[in-house]
Amino acid sequence: MNGNAASGFARKMLPLSIETRTRPYERIGAVSPRKKHQPQWWASLASDPRALKIAVALALVVAFAFALAAAVDASSDANHSRVVVFDAGSTGNRVHVFKFSSDVDGVTLVSETFAAKSPGFRDLASKGAKVAADSLDALIDVARDEVPAKMRSRTKLTLRATAGIRLLPEGAEAAEAIMRAARKKLMGTGFDVEDRRVSVMSGEDEGKYAWTSVNYLLGRVGVGKSFENGGGGAEDGTSTVAVLDLGGGSAQIAFAVSDAAKASAPPGKGYVQSVGDGGRRDDVYVKSFAGYGLMAARAKVLATGGDDEDSGGNGTHPCVPAGYVGGCEENCYGLAPGESYVARARAAGADFRACLAAAIKSLALDATCEDAPCGIAGAWTTPRTTKLHAMSYVYERAVQSRAAKTYDAATTTKTDALTVTPKDFEDAGEAVCATAAADVATRYPDADPEHAAYLCLDVAFIRALLVDGLGVGVNEAVTIVDQIEYDGKGVEAAWALGDAVATLGEGADPDAIFGSKGRRRR
């Protein structure tokens, strides 16, 4: 580490559920009308030469201290880079200000400042593009507070809108208008903003950045390839890991592949992407499955394998716990405008094996296959040879359903990496599906009350996705992560950091990003 770098990662999360509020200034020591007989402090000093000398000396010391602090700050800034990432999500907007230090070993994440504000673009779209773009103002202020004015013109800024804006009820034109208004606003902030850095992010980019983020935090991005044993190299701690990010609307899988696997990929379809810079690139299989996020998949599963399948799955269903009737009628997260679903329990309640069969069928593994071998919904696939890390809803449901057997609410921390197998999800699913809807919240207190009735379906879908969709062995250990420990602090394993790392490396010497040895500090 460079001597000017901070000695440990720090994350500052600002409490922004931001409400516009004016804080009144306190009147500290209100000045009363001056009276002639009151002595003035400067008159006292003038009458006491010794006191005057002391005051002047103190003033010089304070001035020197400020000058020294400014010089140290300037020296420190010379070895630091910042990237501002705006995440325009479905439920709100967020800003991340990442600060990196640079030395011969590459770049090291020093700190992250994070703030969030609701509502987001999706909820404000009906009020017009300008109103939606103006919702960024408070978050822009956060970025300005964190980045010194003299550094802003060379601090890169990105804004990525995710799936929520792609499915606006107001349509594609409204989404494009919001993005134009946001781009115009950000161009006037003084940061380094380019048109292409303010964009609606594709699912593949989301998967690529999630892969970069996890492998960066583990210290594995940029490690020299060693493909004798397949993509990712030998099992000596230097290989990259595969990353599954299961969101609400889509699922992304990404993993390093061999040169042979890259050569066999269908040309021009973007299945294998080159991640990195210059001579330090990894060929990564990246696929986003739109409509196969956990929330969106509910509609697919409930439309399959129900007792009244001819009516679109709106009859009773083996994934629904006894006594439950529900569903989603409009504005369903992860679904296109106008799509909905109904969930009704059978008299006998849920059945895990029948639910699993419906979940497997929902993956459309028998869809038309243009480029063999094919997997989910007819997409080309290639064997994964690196260990799998899973996050987001895989982690949440593993904990909530008790599939993660080593999880202990009293002792497990957010940075503890847990392991779970598909067989663990099967065992947990059998127990969850045998539980009546009225008892789920009591028996599974970690489950989100709003989604407790779907815990059986969710667990069955994750098991189907892992084994039947992605080829994970039934007894294969999968590492599930919420945060990853980095320099003694927990860092969220999310795509925003991967975007920052990729943006920081645009046009840079690869050694400046990945280090002369090709790895970052753990």
265-290 average pLDDT score: 84
Is 182 annotated to bind a ligand? Reply is no
Q: Tell me: is residue 276 an annotated ligand-binding position.
A: no
Residue 69, domain member (yes or no) = no
pLDDT of residue 445: 95
pLDDT at 93 over 80: yes
In a domain, 336, yes or no: no
Mark whether 86 and 138 lie in a shared domain: yes
Confidence of residue 69 (pLDDT cuts 50, 70, 90): low
Quick one: pLDDT at residue 487? 83
Residue range 155-183, pLDDT digits in tens: 999 999 986 787 777 888 999 999 999 99
Confidence of residue 225 (pLDDT cuts 50, 70, 90): very low
The amino acid at residue 137 is D
Q: Helix 422-433 crosses helix 455-464 at what angle (to 10 degrees)?
A: 160
For residues 347 and 354, give the distance between their C-alpha atoms in angstroms, rounded to a whole number: 14
Residue 62 pLDDT grade (very low, low, confident, very high; cuts 50, 70, 90): low
User: Is the Cβ–Cβ distance between 495 and 191 less than 8 Å?
Assistant: no
CB count in 10 Å sphere of residue 10 = 15
Q: Which residues contact 109 (CB under 8 A, 6 or more apart)?
A: 9, 98, 99, 100, 216, 217, 486, 487, 491, 497
**For the residues of 189-258, what is the DSSP string, one character each?**
SSSB--GGGEEEPPHHHHHHHHHHHHHHHTT-TTPPP-GGGSTT--TTTTS--EEEEE-SSEEEEEEE--
Residue 314 resides in a domain: no
What was the pLDDT predicted at 10?
A: 67
CATH code, domain with 460: 3.30.420.150
Positive or negative torsion for Cα 95, 185, 182, 127 = positive
Range of 175's domain? 10-16+77-201
Q: What is the pLDDT of residues 120-144, one digit of tens each?
A: 898 898 899 999 999 999 999 999 9
Determine the pLDDT at residue 67.
58
The answer on 237 and 102 residing in a single domain is no
pLDDT number for residue 270: 92
Does residue 457 have a pLDDT over 90? yes
Domain harbouring 123, CATH code = 3.30.420.40
Give the 3-state secondary structure of 487-514: CCEEEECCHHHHHHHHHHCCCCCHHHHH
Assess whether 196 and 255 both reside in one domain.
no
d(CA 39, CA 48): 14
Q: Rounded mean pLDDT of 193-206?
A: 93
Q: What is the pLDDT of residues 510-522, one digit of tens each?
A: 444 444 333 433 3
- Nearest CA among 451, 490, 424 for reference residue 248: 451
pLDDT at 355 over 80: yes
Highest mean pLDDT among 21-35, 309-323, 344-358: 344-358
For residue 497, is pLDDT > 80? yes
- Same structural domain for residues 373 and 413? yes
The tally of domains found in the chain comes to 2
Same domain, 161 and 283: no
354 is a domain residue: no
Q: Peptide bond before 119: cis, by omega within 30 degrees of 0?
A: yes
At residue 54, the pLDDT reads: 73
Q: Do the domain assignments include residue 404?
A: yes
* Together in a domain, 243 and 164: no
The response to whether 250 counts as a known ligand-binding position is yes
User: Residues 247, 402: contact at Cβ < 8 Å?
Assistant: no
What local confidence, expressed as pLDDT, does residue 158 receive? Answer: 97
**Alpha carbons 298 and 301: distance in angstroms, whole number:** 5
Query: For residue 330, what are its two tokens?
Result: 């409009």
List 146, 206, 396, 492, catalytic entry: 206
Question: Do residues 138 and 100 both lie within one domain?
Answer: yes
CA distances to 21, 84, 125 from 17, in Å: 12, 19, 19
**Rounded distance between C-alpha atoms, residue 209 and residue 218, angstroms:** 14
248 and 197, same structural domain?
no
**442 in a domain, yes or no?**
yes
Q: Tell me whether residue 155 is in a domain.
A: yes
Residues 268 and 124 in one domain: no
The 10s digit of each residue's pLDDT in 362-379 is: 999 999 999 999 999 999
What pLDDT does residue 489 have?
84
Task: Check whether residue 270 and residue 381 sit in a common domain.
Answer: yes
Residue 47: the pLDDT is 67
- Give the best-scoring range by mean pLDDT among 44-48, 53-57, 310-314: 53-57
For residues 183 and 110, state if they share a domain.
yes
251 is in an annotated binding site: yes
What is the pLDDT averaged over residues 248-272? 93
Residues 239 and 137 in one domain: no
Select, from the ranges 51-55, 62-66, 116-120, 490-494, the one with the highest average predicted confidence (pLDDT): 116-120
The pLDDT mean for the chain works out to 82
Please, which residues have CB within 8 angstroms of residue 465's CB and are 6 or more apart in sequence? Answer: 246, 251, 292, 359, 363, 376
Distance from C-alpha of 208 to C-alpha of 193, rounded to nearest angstrom: 21
Q: Give the pLDDT band of residue 227 (cuts 50, 70, 90).
A: very low
Tell me whether residue 206 is one of the annotated catalytic residues: yes
- Provide the residue type at 6 as one letter: A
Look at residue 325 and tell me if it is in a domain.
Answer: no
